[in-house]
Structure 1
Amino acid sequence: MTATRVLILGGKAGIIRKASALGFEIVHIQKPSAFDPAVVEHCAQLLLVDYQDVPTVTALVRALHEQRPFVRVFTQTEAAQVVAGHLTEALGLPGNGARTTRLLHDKPALRALLNERGIGPVPTVVGPTHDELRDFVKTHGGAVLKPTMGSGSLGVRMITSPDETDAAWAWRQEFGLGTFMAEQRLIGDELSVETFSAGGRHTVVAVTGKETGGGAVELGHVVPAPLTDRDRAAVHAMVLDLLDAVGLVDGPAHTELILTADGPRVVESHSRRGGDRINELVRLVHGVDLEEATYRLAQGGDPLPTPATRGAAAIRFLVAEPGVVTSVAGAADAESAPGVVDVDVQVGQGDTVHELRWSEDRCGYVVARAEDAATAVRLAAEAAARITITTEPATGGAEAARATLGDLLEEVDEVLDPFAAATTTPAAATRTR
């Protein structure tokens, strides 16, 4: 009997392994810069091609599909979402098409749709001049300046008062944020909603609480978020309205919101499971692996087990002073702390710690479980505090601090808009997107 043939764009070996365990014949397309030999044993074919090179990957996938058809196109990687939607539509396969994946990748397009439908309207201005930005901040009391595409808090800057506008504008120019928008700064608890859809039917699996310390980069999460029944109902309703509005058909979605005094407001949404180990928190608490459920869509039937809450789980991210790491201590002590289920310190002696510009600048994490959310948060924070990452100022630190958006994207070998990159030079697409 021939195994079900699926195409997977991007993803680490652990995610590909989950598809392999379900018995699929996997054709995996991965960027050469992200190749991991551990993935080879799980693939029938492994093609080292930049999946953000839209003309090349489209021609390649069409030829592979004509040779032996795929049942589904999958990706669990943000950088490949719009390409996966494009390929799904081009091959006539079930799943989320180009319109849906584009709406969830293009922040101004999503905001315009939500505002038009009255789904938690938020004042927004796209590509304002300096004076227009200043007027916007004066009118709304604050703003969030950010790229029109992207994730991981990359290029996000908070403006809390009109007095900060000039500094934010100067930062935008220095950072190379050429295509940008500003939205009203929302005040309230930050949440994300983890959902799963099959055939256009949406299930809320979990609501995640977030901690940012007042900045843009997330420092911790907890599942489930502590909410009143009234707030939970309002959050669920808004997310389901959003998913219907964008036409999401299949798979996970990760929708970020802020619970304001006027009710929930959507920040952004993505056609994938949440990053930052949120999938692991959901699995620990609700018994649902959203990555595995995604692949089960290719098997037919109901891919999602019934969620059942068992206590709470929290993650606390490790941060350190910018500089060169001279020592790391306390990891073993953290592992033995009450409630801890996972510790991952991602820096070592000689590594460079940058200022907290985006999620990639964090230094690792601690995950803890407990009977309730408050205790899980406390245990994760206490265990993380046992880990000490010592740094000393780096030579050329000022130069590193001036890294642009293009520099950071080049480090991870990504562009924010692969369809723009198809009609411009890669360098130009990186700089302006």
Structure 2
Amino acid sequence: MSAPRVLVIGGKSGIVRKAAALGFEVVHVQKPSAFDPAVVEHCTQLLLVDYQDVSLVTALVRALHERQPFVRVFTQAEAAQAVAGHLTDVLGTPGNGARTTRLMHDKPALRALLNECGTGAVPVLVRPSLVELRDFVQMHGGAVLKPTMGSGSLGVRLITSPDQTDEAWAWRERFGLDEFMVEQLLVGEELSVETFSVAGRHEIVAVTGKETGGGVVEVGHVVPAALSKRAHGAVCDTVRELLDAVGFVDGPAHTELILTADGPRVVESHSRRGGDRINELVRLVHGVDLEETCYRLAEGGNPLPSVPAADGAAAIRFLVAEPGVVTSVTGTAEAAAAPGVIDVDVQVELGDTVHDLRWSEDRCGYVMARAEDTATAVRLAREAAARIVIRTAPAEDATARAPDVTLAHLLDEVDEVLDPFTAAGGVSSGGAAA
């Protein structure tokens, strides 16, 4: 018998390699701009097309499926989540369909559903006027202004007091953020919950602690989060309620929450494993690789009947630097040799431009550490990261702080659109090409 044939959309070569290593026949769809030659040896077929061109990718995948059917459609790329759900429906394969993936991609739709279900209601306005925004901030004391879709803290702005409202509105207009929403500013510990579902049954794999340094971009994660038993139970119950509400069926999910004084409140959720190398933290602590486990759904049965208890803790600390042109990077070797450190990755070099911390893509690398407990893992990662010094000088053309950088510019840099169905022309997120 031939090996199960799976469709893998987007992702780096290492993700595709994991599918091939399990013996699957892999058909990989990747944007030409993201092509990595290392992926070729892991694929039976490689389609270099824009998978966010929904009409095109639907026609191609349907034709391939008619000749040799796919067992499952997989993706771990945020930009491909809604497309994967659409293709799952089109092909009639098992998994999370268009309704589920759309709800987890469309933030106003998810918030409306959760508020309707009573799962941690949060006040929200979608595309308010300036007057409405002023009134909202005045009523709630603060707000978060953000795009209706996206990830990586892209386009997220905190309004911590009423006197910041007009400035935030002006920034939104300069940034070109037309499709936006505002929610009540939630205060509390930031967390994410990593889950794995099989046939609608949701297993809590890990709860991740987060640090933002008072901003919106995450600068650190740790597994497991330091929570009381009661708080842990409340957080997990909230996530299960969310997954039931959206009709989540199979695979990993990554749900971000804030543990407020009134209980857990969902920030957003994604139908994929967590980014920022959270998958690696989970693997180190619980022995579960959510990317690999997801592919095993194609074998049938339950690939994760139970989750091993935590073995110690693991933390990641991201590197940041002042905006400008990189003039020196020191301390990398010292950080790698520091106690508990298991990985160091400096992603800038001499001559590179460091930007303001606008979103996750602007971080400069990371340090990962492992220890016997959460507090120690966080401390070791932070201390090792502090050994790495990235010095910069002001850019001559001031591009590091260019006021005309817009949402469209940043999306162009990564060759993505927030909503492929809006750009598709005649394709519905709930079905096939028209």
Shorter-chain TM-score range: over 0.9
What is the Cα deviation at residue 373 of structure 1? Answer: 0.4
Instruction: Tell me if 1:269 matches 2:269.
Output: yes
Q: Does 1:404 align with 2:406?
A: yes
1:327-346 equivalence runs, <5 A: 327-346=328-347
Q: Sequence identity, in percent? A: 77
Matching residue of 1:200: 200
Q: Deviations over 1:361-420 (max 9, x none)?
A: 000000000011000000000000000101000122256343100000000000000000
Say what the alpha-carbon RMSD is for the aligned residues.
Answer: 0.9
Aligned to 1:431: none
Matched with 1:283 is 283
Whole-angstrom CA distance in 1 between matches of 2:199 and 2:67: 28
Q: In the TM superposition, what are the counterparts of 1:78-93 in structure 2 within 5 Å? A: 78-93=78-93
Partner Cα separation in structure 2 for residue 306 and residue 406 of structure 1: 41
Check if 1:162 corresponds to 2:162.
yes
For residues 8-407 of structure 1, the aligned pairs below 5 Å read 8-304=8-304, 306-397=307-398, 400-407=402-409
Q: Are residues 1:416 and 2:418 paired?
A: yes
Q: CA deviation at 1:166?
A: 0.5
Structure 2: distance between partners of 1:352 and 1:31: 25
How far is 1:423 from its partner?
A: 2.3
Q: Deviations over 1:206-254 (max 9, x none)?
A: 0000000111000000000000000000001000000000000000000
Q: Please list the CA deviations of residues 9-46 of structure 1 after superposition, one character each: whole Å capped at 9, or x if unmatched.
A: 00100110100100000000000000000000000000
Question: Which residue number corresponds to residue 429 of structure 2?
Answer: none
TM-score (norm 1): 0.97
3-state SS of paired residue (1:419): coil
Distance (Å, rounded) in 1 between the aligned partners of 2:88 and 2:370? 38
Letter in 2 for 1:324: V
Partner deviation per Cα, 1:46-75 (whole Å, 9 max, x = no partner)? 010000000000000010000100000000
CA-to-partner distance for each residue in 1:172-195, whole Å, 9 max, x for gaps?
Answer: 000000000000000000000000
Matching residue's letter, 2:33: S
- The code of the aligned residue for 1:16 comes to V
Alpha-carbon distance in 1 for matches of 2:282, 2:158: 29
Post-superposition offset of 1:303: 1.1
- Within 2, Cα distance between the matches of 1:74 and 1:371? 34
Contact 1:355 1:401 (C-alpha < 8 Å) held by counterparts: no
SS of structure 1 residue aligned to 2:384: helix
2:163, 2:272 → 1: CA distance?
A: 37
> Could you tell me which amino acid in structure 1 is paired with residue 415 of structure 2?
D
Q: What residue in structure 1 maps to residue 432 of structure 2? A: none
Give aligned pairs, total: 424
After alignment, is 340-349 or 392-401 more displaced? Answer: 392-401
Deviations 1:63-121 (A, max 9, x none): 00001000000000000000000000011110000000000000000000000000000
Deviation at 1:2, TM superposition (A): 0.6
